[in-house]
Structure 1
Amino acid sequence: MSSPPPATSGAVPQAQPRRAALAAWIGSALEYYDFFIYGTAAALVFNKLFFPSSAPATGTLLALATFGAGYLARPFGAFVLGHVGDRFGRKRVLVATVLGMGAATFVVGCLPTYSQIGVAAPVLLVTLRLLQGFAAGGEQAGANSSSLEHAPPHRRAYYTSFTLAGTQAGQILATAIFLPIAVLPEQALLSWGWRIPFWLSAVVVVAGLLIRRTLDETPVFEREQQRDEVARAPVAVLLREHLGPVVRVVLASTVATVSTIFTVYALSYAVNTEGLSRSAMLWVGIVANVVALAAIPAAGALGDRIGRKPVFLVGTIGMAITMFGYLGAISAGNYALIFVMGILVFGLGNSATGGVWPAFYGEMFPTRVRLSGTAIGTQIGFALAGFAPTIAAVLAGPSGRNWVAVAGFVAVVCLVNVLAVATGRDYYRTPTEELGAEPAPPARPTRTSVAP
């Protein structure tokens, strides 16, 4: 009886890519539910709960700054969790991040406010936000690396796109939870209502652990372990041998500015400055994210066919243009136009970049430093984007109504992103095990001797 043919090095069990994508989708949805409820609360209530002694505009600015503080901690989490993921495996990072994020979020819902304990309240709030950011520093990179390394080589963008689709689902869930909370009477909202979304993170922790503990380690990482090729100090190897791709990912990741401006600053501007309906603006986020749930995998599939760069660039340029329309519609108080522009800038434009960047970034690095490279590069870029709502609040001026300056700021950031992406290589046709390897120099022509 003849033996079965040997498996190719790139073969993976058929069910594993789907399981990895599902684990990334659900895990990211649960993880970013935690992260986005903080942003929503910062935009709507934290200025009154933790900074009430400040002038209204200053209180809003300080509340938005606490949102940015979480992004400040992300690079530190990326260094630590990136090392763990590249040294000991992707699965450990996926479990650790859901535990850390869920625990910190639950405790935020238990915090006493400024009126109860004074300045200690905002100090504790910022501390917990830093812990959230530390955990988030390894979340997407861990999920992306796992999905990419489980995926068939010709469908890496499609499968990794589910990580970003999961973040949109988390944002829908976070916003939907706040819808009934936002219509509570002011006294109920500020006394106990705002705490409910944070307490629900207990469910997040349990569900996330059950899902992620059942996922297998990736085949390429296991092969590296078997060959004893796992780097003992992955971050040192990364910074010594792959610094160029890290810088490129940092610059490209600043495109997350569009997300933070849309989800935090624009919501605060609409509700607190222009006096628009809280519920209506929350619905804008829900509708845009529902569109994104379908648009992100579609963008990933397109990126597998034509390459990551064209999809990425069209999305970024589109967001730079439509952000003017979105903030202008808010200024005009035109709800119909707000919904249309919100879908264009976030549901479609942001989805185009989100559908391909998980693969585009991860493909720049070899397996031994992929999680570290993706985590460190993205989280430094995201840290810059995390303070975009604070910068926007300053650019908007004392009246808070200079939306043109804010949209111009977003356009400049998008230009930086375009330059970073356009000048990089596209590895969408490279086999998974060959990713991150420098191309061999062309062979020199040999001189052929001719017999006399």
Structure 2
Amino acid sequence: MTVTHRRDLSTSPQPGSTPTTGQKDPKKAAMSGWIGSALEYYDFALYSLAATLLFPTIFFPTENPTVGIIASLATYAVGYVSRPLGAVILGAYGDRHGRKQVLVFAMLLMGFATFAVGLLPTYGQVGLLAPVLLVILRLIQGFAVAGELGGASAMIVEHSPDARRGFFASFSLQGTQVGSILATAVLIPLAALLPEEQFHSWGWRLPFLLSAVVIIAGYVIRRRVEEPPAYLAQSEDATAKRRFPLVDLLRTHPWVLVRCVIMTFTNVIGMATLIFGVSFATQKSYGIGFSSSEFLWVTLAANVAAVLTIPLFGALSDKIGRRTLMVAGGIAGGLLTVGYLWAIEQRSLPLVFVCVVIVQGILFQMWNATFATFFQEQFPMRMRVTGFAVSQNIGLMIASFFPSLFTAIAPPGSANIPLVIGLTTLGICLVSAVATLLSSDTKGKSLEDLETR
């Protein structure tokens, strides 16, 4: 089914409208996406770090260290289990009622859930109730974040000129990295300055309680950006409003959805480096011996490098196409994961820094800076938020179990861990690359041209 729109609807003010609602404003949309994603992913990244560094002993104490690590990493994965449901519900809300509305709601919900984590009792205080409450709040986090990147990148793509969509949309991805930097930057001084006993008893709570700022800032920031003019024009179509986006998506674009899910598996690079890699380096059961504070700096270095490279790769994707960068970055990043884990095994912190910047800060960002624009371009406007959110979050839900899988196939005491995990990562990246090559190339096409597919 095709949907067409008059080009002047997306570029010219309509009678009775204000300039802000009748004209594209890519800079304002990109800034809103950047700030909002930074605040929301601060919350999500904070939990990811705590799941590897703190929660195995606080919420999952056990005599078997492998079980404790797997249980903690599984709660990290639980946050992705609820993401497909959030993608369906929040995606439909964003497609039918507006990108701005879903972004405000998602951020407020995320801020509430993360703040509540900071108030949770520990396993030592209330027993099994503690991990149960933790899992519930992680499910809420996953539900909320499912609508963030889909809504933000859709808004930016629809506000942007065709020749610079990749550049402007990359800022929402840069915002996610800034959020990770903020989470790491808050944990580093606490881990370094507080005695370990105090850090594990109450110091870890402070970064979660700071999420109260998100609840306030999120509302103020997201309420100020306007809906894309082309979306406002389409929203007046009564026929489009009657369709439920997920049903429309499954009926008209099922194989596009499947390919985008598989492409999302490229996130295995981050799972291998910044999730499993941190556990491999710092958990006593693996015997490597790096401290939590050292690997907070490693994570920070990777995210700082990503902040610098994401806009460059976004702009480059406008010049040479998205698929080239996604395939090259995914395969190379998967291959060099072996070297990164080997550097950890050699206990060489300088080499670890070099490898994580190359793998996570450069190669993976060739894919990460580009995929949001590429995914948005695969779906028409009437289902764009839903198509992106459902495909990304189903893919991430599956990929989120990779760290636990890695721990199961390469537990403490096993041999050749870098090779086993690295080659597994490469194999998954190769499958994702095939899905990318089978997808339509969007280079040089306007959103109006893509709308008619």
Displacement of 1:187 after TM fit?
A: 1.3
Alignment deviations for residues 401-441 of structure 1 (CA, whole Å, 9 cap, x no partner): 62321111111110111000011111132211232422xxx
Letter in 1 for 2:11: A
Structure-1 separation of matches of 2:223 and 2:358: 37
Displacement of 1:92 after TM fit?
A: 1.1
Q: 2:204 aligns to what SS in structure 1?
A: helix
Unaligned runs of 5+ in 2: 1-5, 13-19
Structure-1 separation of matches of 2:63 and 2:72: 11
Structure-2 separation of matches of 1:436 and 1:356: 20
Displacement of 1:333 after TM fit?
A: 0.5
Where do 1:73-112 residues align within 5 Å?
73-112=82-121
Aligned with residue 406 of structure 2, among 392, 398, 403:
392
Q: 1:192 aligns to what SS in structure 2?
A: helix
Tell me if structure 2 keeps the 8 A contact 1:269–1:400: no
Letter in 2 for 1:250: V
Displacement of 1:219 after TM fit?
A: 1.2
What percent identity do the matched residue pairs reach? 42
Displacement of 1:15 after TM fit?
A: 7.0
Structure-2 separation of matches of 1:156 and 1:61: 40
Letter in 2 for 1:238: L
Alignment deviations for residues 69-123 of structure 1 (CA, whole Å, 9 cap, x no partner): 0011111100110110111111111001101111000000100001111101101
Aligned with residue 448 of structure 2, among 420, 433, 440:
433
Distance 1:33 1:8, change over 3 A: same
Tell me if structure 2 keeps the 8 A contact 1:36–1:170: yes
Aligned with residue 431 of structure 2, among 390, 395, 416:
416
Aligned with residue 262 of structure 1, among 267, 273, 280:
273
- Residue 200, structure 1, aligned to residue 210, structure 2: yes
Where do 1:42-441 residues align within 5 Å?
42-183=51-192, 184-232=194-242, 233-272=244-283, 273=286, 274-399=288-413, 402-438=417-453
Tell me if structure 2 keeps the 8 A contact 1:86–1:230: no
Structure-1 separation of matches of 2:414 and 2:52: 14
Q: Which has the larger radius of gyration?
A: 1
Displacement of 1:263 after TM fit?
A: 2.0
Alignment deviations for residues 25-83 of structure 1 (CA, whole Å, 9 cap, x no partner): 11111001000110111111101111113422211111011000001111110011011
Unaligned runs of 5+ in 1: 1-5, 439-452
Q: 2:441 aligns to what SS in structure 1?
A: coil
Tell me if structure 1 keeps the 8 A contact 2:37–2:172: yes
How many residues end up aligned between the 2 structures?
433
Structure-1 separation of matches of 2:398 and 2:322: 23
Which one is further off, 410-419 or 8-17? 8-17
Letter in 2 for 1:279: S
Distance 1:124 1:149, change over 3 A: same
RMSD: 1.6
Q: 2:445 aligns to what SS in structure 1?
A: coil
Tell me if structure 2 keeps the 8 A contact 1:396–1:403: no
Tell me if structure 1 keeps the 8 A contact 2:43–2:183: yes
Tell me if structure 2 keeps the 8 A contact 1:367–1:433: no
The TM-score, its normalising length taken from structure 2, stands at: 0.93
Tell me if structure 2 keeps the 8 A contact 1:172–1:289: yes
Tell me if structure 1 keeps the 8 A contact 2:11–2:24: no
Which one is further off, 270-279 or 227-236? 227-236
Structure-2 separation of matches of 1:317 and 1:215: 37
Structure-1 separation of matches of 2:435 and 2:308: 27
Structure-1 separation of matches of 2:304 and 2:197: 31
Letter in 2 for 1:50: F
Tell me if structure 2 keeps the 8 A contact 1:94–1:142: yes
Letter in 2 for 1:106: F
Structure-2 separation of matches of 1:54 and 1:215: 52
Letter in 1 for 2:267: A
Structure 1 residue runs of 4 or more that deviate by more than 6 Å after TM superposition? 12-15
Structure-2 separation of matches of 1:203 and 1:93: 19
Tell me if structure 2 keeps the 8 A contact 1:309–1:422: yes
Tell me if structure 2 keeps the 8 A contact 1:75–1:380: yes
Q: 2:82 aligns to what SS in structure 1?
A: helix
Structure-1 separation of matches of 2:165 and 2:305: 22
Distance 1:7 1:238, change over 3 A: closer
Q: 1:57 aligns to what SS in structure 2?
A: helix
Q: 1:226 aligns to what SS in structure 2?
A: coil
Alignment deviations for residues 304-333 of structure 1 (CA, whole Å, 9 cap, x no partner): 011111111111111012101100000001
